Copies of this chain bind each other. A is one copy, B any other.
Amino acid sequence: MSTGKVLHFTEANANLFGDSAPGTSIRVLIDDENDGAPTTVLRMIEIEPGGNSPRHRHNYEHTNFVVEGHGRVLIDEVWHELKPGDAALVSANILHQYVNASDVVFKFLCAIPAKHLIQS
């Protein structure tokens, strides 16, 4: 049985998101498959200056916290400014997109539900 773990976010692999998200990488910090975390998958997303995440929607929510840099998030039809210390909720099935609005890397946590909690 896992008692827990501690790691610095830079110790987790940064994986490029792909063509739909130029300049964007994602690190999985804590999850169910590797750590036995039953509820929340904690991920760090890093978007280079000029980069963005895909504009999309899906059937699970995002819970965000901005760590570094400045950006914007589209939630439904409204753009919101994001700065360090901001938390955000993007509800399930809502159109959303994250954009770097600064000249440094935009770093934010993006928690999602563990796979077994996502309604198919």
Residues of chain A at the chain B interface (Cβ within 8 Å): 1-10, 29-30, 35-40, 42, 60-61, 63, 65, 67, 73, 75-76, 78, 80, 82-83, 85-92, 94, 96, 109, 111-113, 117
Q: How far apart are A101's CB and chain B's nearest CB, in angstroms?
A: 14
Q: How far is the CA of A60 from the CA of B38 in the complex (A)?
A: 9
CB distance from A82 to the nearest CB of B (A): 7
| Copies of this chain | 2
Instruction: Name 18 extra pairs, CB < 8 A, besides A4-B76, A65-B109.
Output: A2-B89, A3-B94, A4-B88, A4-B90, A4-B94, A4-B96, A5-B89, A8-B86, A9-B85, A9-B86, A9-B87, A37-B63, A39-B113, A39-B117, A40-B40, A42-B87, A42-B111, A63-B111
